[in-house]
Amino acid sequence: MTENPTADYEHVDEDIEAVVEDTELPRRLKDEIYGIVEEHEGISVEQADDIAKATETRYVDTRVDPLDPVGTVSAQSIGEPGTQMTMNTFHYAGVAEIDVTQGLPRLIELVDARKTPDTPMMTVYLDDEYADDRERAHEVVWSIEATKILALGDVSTNVADMVVRVDLNDETLQERWPREDDVGEIAQRIADTIEDALGVETRRQGTVIQFGPEQPSYRELLQLVEQLREIVFKGIEDVTRVVIRKEKLDDGGEEFVLYTEGSAFGDVLDIEGVDGTRSTTNNIHEVYRNLGVEAAREAIINETMDTLEEQGLDDVNVRHLMLVSDIMTNRGTIESIGRHGISGSKESVLARAAFEVTVNHLLDAAIHGELDDLDGVIENVIVGKPVAIGTGDVDLKMGSIGGGTAKEVTDGGESEIEPADD
Amino acid sequence: MVDVSQHELVPDHTVLDDPEEVEAVLEEYNVNKTNLPKIKRTDPALRETEAETGDVVRIERDSRTADRAVVYRLVVE
């Protein structure tokens, strides 16, 4: 805590500070009140007190009541806007020229915790020295984007001599290996890569590389060409394309930011020039593997919120998404919502059976002799008992406590949180 | 190797090494240790710490709704 929260405000005196600090408001709202008082000079202590009290009343009103079924509310609050989302949009929205899955398919992909997204992409920020220099930024681009032979030169086959001939383009070589001065040196490295990958002898003259099958065979020759096209000479195999964009910074400056088609987060973080504190990927599993479960939780919130905002559904309260994300990462890994994840691993047989593949769950439960404690909501709905949420969890006892007055007693039952199934 | 803790998505993780602190947390929430959310011992964010299975980790998030939010996770295998 700061020692003096109002040191920066001229018109906030000790009395005002006292009445505001006396409320139950969180730090941010208190600061906001100080801001308001500061803005309207000459607010009296009484007025400040009124403002603080009114804010507090509104704040307390917005709190979740005890036994409120927050999970169900979240499910509805995400589900309803979900119905307004587009089924299929494959547009180049958001980021320049990169096709990103959006709308409902993306939201489903997130809550299903798919191993790889439909359109993986990364946002790569650069370290200071690289971020404002186009050439150095390009250096990073070439170490990320997968470079294949067709980008470097022409490939032709000579059937008479049974050789594959690669004419490398000097300029391209120089451009993609900016640290290397000698083009021949680069060509040699490419020749070596080909030898390693295809297991053939290569002959190099300047920037022309030739090689062929050991025994003259037309089929093998064509096969070599096929394989040659797949070799990655530089960059990361999974990243097929990198788009470089100049973006405005908050402080008015500009920086280059890279957007990639394809994702290999772990590899990219190790590349020199990449800012490992801001770069992200839209693959939540890669975030989990490289940055841990807490980062994955943040990533899920960010991705779901961005998906909703993209569709103009930004009035979904972020708390609902935070709840979903909390549940998905509760066990230290990413779990999907649904049959294979949260809903499928519930304690209660009846709750599981009520979700999907009813018969299988009941059959398995019968074979293993499972018991159902009927603690949750779904189970009690099924058997027709009051559910342990809201007023359902409160018992009313008449005259049981001395003095003969009725008194509410809660039995402190656990209210189960329902995950946001759609 | 990149320093994971420097990434803006990663909040501060600190291992509670005082058993009394752990006790206080469990009392505050009125739960058992096993009721806490979990975090794997191999989690990248714990690489720099010496967290053992059974430890409780305090995580201080930059919260979207409350400035700072403190949560706890139990370290599991």
Interchain CB distance below 8 Å, B39 and A292: yes
8 A C-beta contact, residue A204 and residue A182: no
Q: How confident is the model at residue B48 (pLDDT cuts 50, 70, 90)?
A: confident
Count the domains in chain B.
1
Mean pLDDT value across chain B: 90
| DSSP character at residue A132 | T
Burial class (CB in 10 A: 0-12, 13-18, 19+), A96: exposed
Provide, as residue numbers in chain A, all residues whose Cβ is less than 8 Å from the Cβ of B40: 293, 332-333
**B76–chain A nearest CA distance, Å:** 8
Question: Pick from A270, A291, A301: which is nearest to B10 by CB?
Answer: A291
Low-confidence ranges of chain A (pLDDT < 50): 1-2, 404-422
Question: Pick from B8, B43, B76: which is nearest to A292 by CB?
Answer: B43
CATH code for position B9: 3.90.940.20
Domains detected in chain A: 14-61 (no CATH), 147-230 (3.30.1360), 343-383 (1.10.150.390)
ipTM score here?
0.94
| Among A74, A293, A335, the residue to mutate for chain B (most B Cβ within 10 A) | A293
8 A C-beta contact, residue A395 and residue A410: yes
E strand intervals along chain B: 12-16, 38-40, 56-63, 67-76
Three-state DSSP class for residue A412? coil
**B69–chain A nearest CA distance, Å:** 11
Interface of B with A (CB under 8 A): 1-4, 6-11, 13, 37-40, 43-46, 59, 61, 64-67, 73, 76
Segment A331-342, tens digit of pLDDT: 999 999 888 888
Segment A88-130, tens digit of pLDDT: 665 555 556 777 888 888 899 999 999 999 889 999 999 888 8
Question: Pick from A292, A301, A326: which is nearest to B4 by CB?
Answer: A292
Alpha-helix residue ranges (DSSP H) falling in A7-125? 14-21, 27-39, 45-61, 70-83, 103-111
pLDDT at residue A63, rounded to an integer: 86
**Residue A176 backbone dihedrals phi, psi, to 5 degrees:** -85, -20
* Farthest CA pair distance, chain B: 40
The neighbour count for residue B16, using CB atoms within 10 Å, is 17
Confirm or reject contact between A301 and chain B (CB < 8 A).
yes
State the count of interchain CB pairs (< 8 A) between A and B. Answer: 77
Residues of A numbered 15-54 whose beta carbons fall under 8 angstroms of chain B's beta carbons: which are they? 26-28
Q: Distance (Å, rounded) from C-alpha B59 to C-alpha B70?
A: 6
Query: What is the domain extent for residue B30?
Result: 4-76
Question: Taking residues B5-17, what's their average pLDDT?
Answer: 91
8 A C-beta contact, residue A185 and residue A179: no
Q: Distance (Å, rounded) from C-alpha A377 to C-alpha A375?
A: 7
Residues contacting residue A315 through CB under 8 Å, at least 6 positions apart = none
Interchain CB distance below 8 Å, A299 and B46: no
Confirm or reject contact between A304 and chain B (CB < 8 A).
no
